[in-house]
Amino acid sequence: MNRKRAVVKVLQSTKPEKPIAPLVLEMLTSLGEDPTRDGLLRTPERVEKALRYLTSGYKTDIRKIVNEAIFEVKYDEMVIVKDIEFFSMCEHHMLPFFGKMHVAYIAKDKVIGLSKLPRIVDAFARRLQIQERLTQQVAECIQEMLDPLGVGVVAEAQHFCMMMRGVEKQHSGTVTSAMLGGFRTNKETRDEFISLIRNSK
């Protein structure tokens, strides 16, 4: 299976950004609202600003995030950053999903600055997403940047598309994982990772 090695690239478009606010105005009218009333007068502009921010990951350059924070170190053990909070938007209904991500890698001869891992998570979370893809993209990005012996990522999230509509199960949660290299091939490594993130609770 050929995976695209485009996870660290910026999605670029030669087309200028089309304003979103007029579309929000039309949507409000279609919903039966009066967009000229006080509470909604500036709503289209606010929604546009919010959506631009919540999908800013499309324009994020991962290499600029990492910058020069990859260091050569004689270390070949597991590195874990637990409980990375993230917020994203489901691509099916454009409703939020949110939760925590646990990221681990087994260093070969390079480590990355710890603060960069949450920034990488944010870069992929701030797009229209599904949790499965988000988890896989974070794992593949770290694999590509560091070439470690293995990468493990576990995401736990709650989805408003299940909580507010549809089955309306407010206490449901979804867990996804992506295991690469030693985390996929070595059960002891995988079990150690799962045990360490469970103990954090």
Residues labelled as active-site residues: 90-93, 131, 159, 161
What are the angstrom distances between the C-alpha of 15 and each of 53, 102, 183?
A: 19, 36, 41
Q: What does the alpha-carbon distance between residue 124 and residue 48 come to, in Å, rounded to a whole number?
A: 20
Q: Residues 87-107, buried b or exposed e (16+ Cβ, 10 A)?
A: ebbbeeeeebbebbbbbbbbb
Beta strands in the chain (DSSP E): 70-72, 78-90, 96-106, 110-112, 128-129, 150-159, 174-181
DSSP code, position 96 = E
In the sheet where 174-181 sits, what is the strand order?
Answer: 128-129, 78-90, 96-106, 150-159, 174-181
